[in-house]
Amino acid sequence: MKRFLIVVVGSCFFWSAALAADVIKIGIDASMTGDKSKVGEGTRYAAQLWLEDIQKAGGLAVGGKKVPVQLAIEDSESKAESAVKAATKLITEDGVLFIVGPQASVEAVPAGEVANNLATPLISPWSTNPNATLNRPFVFRACFLDPFQGPVVAGFVSKHYKFKKAAVLYDVASDYPKGLAENFKAAWEKKNGPGSVVAYESFTTNDKDFSSQLTKVIRSGADFLFTPQYYAEVPLIVQQAHELGFKKPIVGSDSWGSAELTKLCGKDCNGLMFSTHYAAAGAKGKTKEFIDRYNAKYGYVPDDVAALTWDALGLVQTAIQNCGKLSGNIKADRKCVRDGMSRIKQFDGITGKMNFSKGNDPEKCAVIVKISDKGEFEFFDSICPEGPAKT
Amino acid sequence: MTFFLQNVVNALQWGSFYGLIALGYSMVYSILMLFNFAHGDIFMTGSYIGVGVATGLVALARTGALVLPNWIILVLTILISMFLTALLGIAVERVAYRPLREAPRASAAITGLMVGIILETGNLILLGAQRVKFPSLIEPASYEVAGVFVTNKKILIVGLSLALMLLLHLFVKRTKWGMAMRAMAFDYAVVPLQGVPLNRVTVLTFAIGSALAAVAGIFFGIAYPVLDPNMGILFGWKAFVAAILGGRGSILGACLAGFLLGFIEVFVATIFPSTLRDLIAYSLILLILVFRPHGFFGEAYSAQLRL
């Protein structure tokens, strides 16, 4: 009897696996709730736009056959442990072929580990922390890395403002700000000598009052403040700095680039600059096409997360097509798609040209954006890595 | 010196929040020997109620039906939110705590935590997960006095907080209801036998505590205008620490401990690397409690503790 049951259960598994070839499931692991909920919203909206295109075309063309695509969306609740849970569920229960997300590094680093261990390809559109893909053949990303972004900001500030003394304020309990703060500090000190970061202050996630740290920053006599924080914290930091009499520039990183930032910050943030992946105001070509479609459907200009998710899904689509033929055995297919992904060398996305010649991380240009008086993100400058990725 | 004074100003504002929230904890704990662990979330709800009331009043003023300058909107927002949050506090007492009055105190504490989670997730479901901005009712102004920056918001927050604390102190010390509260704190079992209406005093206690939490919530929204449904959790814990540090049954103690907590946190972050703030700050408090286990003003309680 027991053996019979095993056979029945086993054949069920077999059949469900065989049936799975009739439909491609793409998992979305993103923060629908929690302090980065706007990030999850952008991810979902971009994925739904992409799915619309696929459905209009009658499915995804693989090996001469159109296969329908389904999205399995899981909430990472803006927490590392929930992102891991969501990734595990997508892999083991939903049987997805590819996972897109999580976005923030604090979630993508641990979730990437799970995906890699379970041999399922995962692409994080927005995670810039190197550890997300490090030594993980199954984990990819669609954005540049913090070791690139740190020097970009340092280089831009020295070039544009000609400042010598920097202050940094960051969240020590979150992978992304911590990693980027360290990279920025290293790059700045390389340029301006040791001790040129005159204040290096930190706080922990969910802190609301930064007055003591900012008072120290002001006393240090720094020329500007660099704060690589998320859009929910930036308004508090900027407002409190202004209330304490800090009138010097405050510079940020790609985590600032959310539609929520200007809503929460008001005019305090106008005129500030940050490094990011793309600038929506003044975009051209297919980037503009995406922005217009998104804006028409959801009523606001997509932020960088949505644009990067769109590119990540384009990469996933190319990878599946590179694989050529889906057997229906989900394990073999995942491996095949991963290999298809690593065959992509160049990808021309809406956030710029990506060069994958160095493995799972693309080389691409960064953009410096200025927040205009109307609260729009305007293109200010573009900084490219030295080498083949130049556009 | 200006650096030091600037930090004193920062700490005064930060301590006001702890003080106001700690009062609610302390009062309920004194009278019912109950830790109202939902109190941090009542503070959060009070803040959101404030957003709702203020947004409504601003919209009403825009239509031109009523002439409402911003300061009247602010006063009305505070009063209406106090009232509504007091009703919430009373409802929590009625639904979650009164049926458990004879149950072991641990059951009531767990119930409090559950009420807190219900308020948090209820807020999530109702308003969605995105951050809410508190409407700016006060045109920000910053004054520089001998190198120290003081904003009109800070003056308002610290001033009104101190005034409310003083009022509550007078209420408890000078009025008949205050006397009933103090008596109940002295002996919860026998005092009702003398004809003091236990339920009414309890309701009053919860109402006052919640109303103060609402004021703290609105002040919080004014000072840190980005609100999220989980903001009450950490505040609840820390204000709870302040309530214990102040000593059972002492209004003055809870206020002082709240400000002390604010000062310790700000100055630890100033002197040491800010990363170590909570570690050093709360180790210090632990040390204080080792030497004064009943807090600053708490009397040694001889009867059997029920928690």
Q: How far is B87 from chain A (nearest CA, A)?
A: 28
**β partners of residue A100:** A28, A123
Q: Are A308 and A142 in contact (CB under 8 A)?
A: yes
Name which of A33, A202, A243 is nearest B129 (Cβ-Cβ).
A33
Question: What's the rounded Cα separation, in Å, for the pair B212 and B82?
Answer: 7
What does the pLDDT read at residue B306?
37
- Provide the pLDDT for residue B52: 93
Whether chain B has a CB inside 8 Å of the CB on A172: the answer is yes
- Spell out the residues 6+ positions from residue A360 whose beta carbon is closer than 8 angstroms to its own: A133, A136, A137, A139, A140, A141, A342
Task: Give how far B142 is from chain A: nearest CA, Å.
Answer: 6
Determine the Cα–Cα distance for residues A322 and B11; give it in Å rounded to an integer: 60
Q: CA dihedral in degrees (A262, A268, A269, A272; nearest 10)?
A: 160
Query: Which amino acid, residue A381?
Result: D
Does pLDDT of B292 surpass 70?
yes
Which residue of chain A comes nearest to B129, CA vs CA? A33
CB-CB: which of A35, A244, A260 is closest to B149?
A244
Flag whether A223 is in a domain: yes
For residue A17, what pLDDT is reported? 45
Cross-chain Cβ contact B225/A235 below 8 Å: yes
Q: For chain A, what is the domain count? A: 2
Q: Does A61 touch chain B (CB under 8 A)?
A: no
A157 and A248 share one domain: yes
Q: How far, in Å, CA of A188 to CA of A196, rounded?
A: 7
Cβ-based contacts of A211 with chain B (< 8 Å): 7, 10, 13-14, 266
Closest C-alpha to A199, from A174, A178, A176, A225: A225
Q: Does A266 touch chain B (CB under 8 A)?
A: yes
d(CA A230, CA A227): 9
Please check whether residues A325 and A242 belong to one and the same domain: no
Whether residue A8 is contained in a domain is answered as: no
Contact B49, B195 (CB under 8 A): no
Domain containing residue A298: 20-143+284-360
- Which pLDDT score is estimated for B248? 74
- pLDDT category, B301, cuts 50, 70, 90? low
Residues A239 and A374 occupy one common structural domain: yes
pTM above 0.90, yes or no: no
Minimal Cα distance from B12: which residue of A? A211
- Residue A214 Cα, gap to closest chain B Cα (Å): 10
Q: What residues of chain A score a pLDDT lower than 70?
A: 1-21, 386-391
pLDDT of residue B87: 96
Nearest Cα of chain B lies from the Cα of A170 at a distance, in angstroms, of: 10
pLDDT at A12: 47
User: Do A254 and A377 share a domain, yes or no?
Assistant: yes
Q: Is A219 on the interface with B (CB under 8 A)?
A: yes
Q: What is the pLDDT of residues B206-237, one digit of tens each?
A: 999 999 999 999 999 999 988 988 888 888 88
pLDDT band of B69, cuts 50, 70, 90: confident
| Domain shared by A158 and A262, yes or no | yes
- Mutation target for A interface from B127, B275, B279: give the one with most A CBs within 10 A: B275
pLDDT over 60 at B186, yes or no: yes
Q: Does A374 lie in the same domain as A327?
A: no
| A15 falls within a domain | no
CA nearest B26: which of B242, B218, B183? B242
DSSP state at residue B301? P
Q: Respond yes or no on whether ipTM tops 0.90.
A: no
Q: What pLDDT shows up at residue A386?
A: 64
Q: How confident is the model at residue B183 (pLDDT cuts 50, 70, 90)?
A: confident
Residue at A6 is within a domain: no
- Asked if residue A209 and residue A119 are part of one domain, the reply reads no
Q: Are A249 and A371 in contact (CB under 8 A)?
A: no
In whole angstroms, what separates CA A362 from the centre of its chain?
Answer: 13
**Confidence at residue A391, expressed as pLDDT on a 0 to 100 scale:** 40
Inspect the interface and report whether the beta carbons of B128 and A37 lie closer than 8 Å.
Answer: yes
Select the more confidently predicted residue: A114 or B250: A114
> Is any Cβ of chain B less than 8 angstroms from the Cβ of A235?
yes
Tell me the three state secondary structure of residue A242.
Answer: helix
**A136 and A184 share one domain:** no
| DSSP-assigned states of every residue in B131-196 | -EEPP--S---EEEETTEEEEHHHHHHHHHHHHHHHHHHHHHHHSHHHHHHHHHHH-TTTGGGGT-
Q: A38 contacts in B (CB within 8 Å)? A: 130
Q: Do B234 and A206 touch (CB under 8 A)?
A: yes
pLDDT (0 to 100) of residue B114: 93
Calpha distance A351→A79 (Å, rounded): 27
Chain A: closest CA distance from residue B24 (Å) = 21
Q: Between chain A and chain B, how many beta carbons pairs sit less than 8 Å apart?
A: 86
Record: contact A212-B266, CB cut-off 8 A:
yes
pLDDT in tens, B7-16: 899 999 999 9
Spell out the residues 6+ positions from residue A322 whose beta carbon is closer than 8 angstroms to its own. A337, A339, A340, A341, A343, A344
Q: Does A206 touch chain B (CB under 8 A)?
A: yes
CB contact under 8 A, A212 and B10: yes
Residue A227 falls within a domain, yes or no?
Answer: yes
Measured between alpha carbons, how far is residue A304 from residues A51, A85, A130, A379, B199 in Å? 19, 25, 19, 13, 56
Inter-chain CB proximity A204 and B130 less than 8 Å: no
Q: Is A281 near chain B, with CB under 8 Å? A: no
Do A168 and A194 lie in one domain? The reply is: yes
User: CA torsion, points B76, B80, B81, B83, in degrees to nearest 10?
Assistant: 140
pLDDT in tens, B263-283: 999 998 888 887 788 888 889
Q: Residue A175 maps to which CATH number? A: 3.40.50.2300
CA quadruple B24, B28, B29, B34: dihedral, nearest 10:
-120
- CB atoms A172 and B124 under 8 Å: no
Q: Are A164 and A108 contained in the same domain?
A: no
Residue B226 at interface with chain A, using a CB cutoff of 8 Å: yes
Any domain includes A129: yes
On the question of pLDDT at B141 being above 60, the answer is: yes
Confidence (pLDDT) at A86: 93
- Which of the pair, B298 or A363, is modelled with greater confidence? A363
In a domain, A111, yes or no: yes
Mutate to test the interface with A, among B264, B266, B274 (most CBs of A within 10 A): B274
Q: How far is A362 from chain B (nearest CA, A)?
A: 31
Question: Looking at the predicted structure, is the pLDDT value of residue B303 above 70?
Answer: no
Same domain, yes or no: A234 and A125:
no
Residue B148 has pLDDT above 80, yes or no: yes
Task: Give the model's pLDDT for residue A15.
Answer: 47
Note whether A161 and A224 are same-domain residues.
Answer: yes
> What is the pLDDT at residue B106?
85
Mean pLDDT of all residues in chain B? 87
Q: Does A263 touch chain B (CB under 8 A)?
A: yes
